[in-house]
Structure 1
Amino acid sequence: MTVLYASTEGNTKSFVEKLQRVAAQYGDKVDARMIGEETDYANETAPFIAIVPTYLTGGTGTGPEVTEIFTNALGEYIAFGNNRRYLRGIVGSGNRNFNVQFNLTGKRYAEQFDVPMLFAYELRGSKFDAEKVYNLMKPLFGE
């Protein structure tokens, strides 16, 4: 099972590590790759999910004046070549203190790439959150 993710503060990386530990408990492996500004584009050839945090600037709501920051490289990577055809879903995160902006980036990615918004968790997520994501993603990989 492949996961592509963006992480700037370490929260998403921490969640991905939890997800890998949960998968290992069931004898599965999660191949996780962080995508950032320095990542070279590549053509994906197998299904993957994307895990994206929410970092926004501008405005106070959810309108077009609110723009994504720090996660654009992941979106551009997914949009590259035929990569979007292998994207099976989005897992998003954020801080619930931001109310309507919680998980806004994840929702936008799901809409932009026409895939399901699988799950949203807060900040670093919990082991329980990682177990839920594992159970949601496993069928998407034919396992």
Structure 2
Amino acid sequence: MTRISILYASTEGNTQSFVDKLKTIAESNGDQLEARMIGDETEYANETTPYVAIVPTYLTGGTGTGPDVVENFTNALGEYIEFGRNSHYLKGVIGSGNRNFNVQFNLTALRYADKFKVPMLFAYELRGSQFDAVKAYNIMKPLFGG
């Protein structure tokens, strides 16, 4: 049995829906997926085991990807990863967004991957499909020894 750990942000329920799909897939494969949502009310803790971050894209300002584009709603997850040595255990980022926003699709996850020097593992649209969840699971599992 492989134990997969995820930290995620979800404001509209789309990321939560995707995490629920991942949990079902992990269980059907005899694995355990532990997921914790990180929000403004989350108390900082020191992570001691590897994890993957799943982050949606919510932006304001600007017309593309420049410095005038500001992250909304996901800052608590980024700050949590920055706390102590938590970024040391981050193995990669999975992101979501709406493809209607063109170059801003998945921008938050791309920024996290760059900032924390980890791979951008996978991107999906909105709630993600079952197929997306299977792909993401198969990408994540080897990171946890499976």
Question: Shorter-chain TM-score category?
Answer: over 0.9
User: Could you tell me how far apart the structure 2 residues matched to 1:52 and 1:139 are?
Assistant: 20
Cα deviations across residues 57-109 of structure 1 (Å, max 9, x unaligned)? Answer: 00010001001000000000000000000000000000000000000000000
Letter in 2 for 1:131: V
- Aligned to 1:99, which of 99, 102, 106? 102
- Aligned to 1:38, which of 41, 50, 70? 41
SS at match of 2:76: helix
Gapped regions of structure 1 (runs ≥ 5)? none
Aligned twin of 1:67: 70
User: Could you tell me how far apart the structure 2 residues matched to 1:39 and 1:100 are?
Assistant: 31
Cα deviations across residues 32-67 of structure 1 (Å, max 9, x unaligned)? Answer: 000000000000000000000000000010001001
Query: Cα distance, 1:29 vs. partner?
Result: 1.0
Letter in 1 for 2:24: R
Runs ≥4 in structure 1, deviation > 2 angstroms? none
Gapped regions of structure 2 (runs ≥ 5)? none
SS at match of 2:39: coil
Q: How many residues align?
A: 143
Aligned twin of 1:131: 134
CA RMSD of aligned residues (A): 0.4
Aligned twin of 1:49: 52
Aligned twin of 2:119: 116
- After TM superposition, the score normalised by the length of structure 2 is 0.97
Letter in 2 for 1:42: A
User: Could you tell me how far apart the structure 1 residues matched to 2:37 and 2:30 are?
Assistant: 22
Identity between Structure 1 and Structure 2 (%)? 73
Aligned twin of 1:11: 14
- After TM superposition, the score normalised by the length of structure 1 is 0.99
